[in-house]
Homo-oligomer: A and B are copies of this chain.
Amino acid sequence: MTSVSAFLAPEDLQASGSGPLYVKLQQALEDAIHSGRLKGGDALPPERDLAEYANISRVTVRKAVDELVRQGKLVRRHGSGTFVSRPMEKVEQSLSRLTSFTEDMARRGLSTRAEWLERGLFTPSPDEMVMLGLPAGGMVARLGRLRIADDNPLAIERASISAEFLPDPENVHTSLYAALEARNVQPVRAIQRISARTVREHEADLLDVAAGSAGLAIERISYLSSGKVVELTRSLYRGDAYDFVAELTLG
């Protein structure tokens, strides 16, 4: 929403004769935020646009914005823009579709990034050999990532894939599913197991929470139509920041 008139009416500024211009603009902006016309994460129009629209100078606009930045209601980014602050909210993921984390977050307008914890080919653990049904001597590709949404660490995700399906894990840069699809590997069935457990110490470090706090553990196994196991992914989400939503249609 970059158009000024979309959330600012002219009468908001010229009405009620007395009082400094910057105070009126400040109140108008506060009102737009509280009423929801400007939501968390939205970009404010450029200062120059605001100034032109309100027929006041840019410095006056800045003084109004300054105060709201001081109050923490707006955030400035040099060269980029000014944005409405967004308190850390719980994000949700729908169970009824198996989509990639990134796609899911993007749909909610959250910027996400990931830091690699582990990426490469390894000798499988006994656990992986059984779950993935690996042949003797087979290798396993491991992709460990720390998922970050809006600068808040949100989840630790560890995926194991048989090297048969992903011989070049180093080349996975974005979505695991995209990488698999590029190799024509398309799972058709998946089972998710959701449970709660306490966060261990080294995990707490990564997630920026206290050790022992509650985390949502999700284990997913996906299968090809042939029945072969493609992927085993174990994720641990921050309990205070993540909701899993399932929508059911009953008989």
Contacts and interface: CB of A to CB of B under 8 A. Distances in A.
Interface of A: 2-3, 18-19, 69-73, 75-77, 85-93, 95-100, 102-103, 106, 174-175, 177-178, 181-182, 186-198, 212-217, 222, 237, 239-240, 242-251
Contact of A178 (B85, B174, B192, B195): B85
Contact of A192 (B86, B212, B248): B248
Contacts of A174: 69-70, 72
Instruction: Tell me the interface secondary structure of chain A in the complex.
Output: mixed
6 contacts: A85-B181, A86-B186, A95-B248, A98-B250, A189-B247, A191-B247
A214 B190 contact: no
Contact of A246 (B19, B75, B194, B216): B194
Contacts of A177: 72, 88
Contact of A98 (B76, B102, B197, B248): B248
Contact of A91 (B98, B175, B214, B240): B98
Contacts of A76: 182
Nearest to A40: B181
A43 to B, nearest CB: 11
A93 B95 CA distance: 9
B188 A244 contact: no
A196 B215 contact: yes
A188 B251 contact: yes
A86 B196 CA distance: 23
Given A72-B175, A189-B247, A194-B245, 4 more contacts: A95-B248, A191-B248, A192-B246, A195-B243
B251 A186 contact: yes
Contacts of A106: 70-71
Nearest to A246: B192
Given A2-B18, A71-B106, A106-B70, A92 B193 contact: yes
B102 A96 contact: no
A247 B216 CA distance: 18
Contacts of A96: 91, 93, 95, 248-251
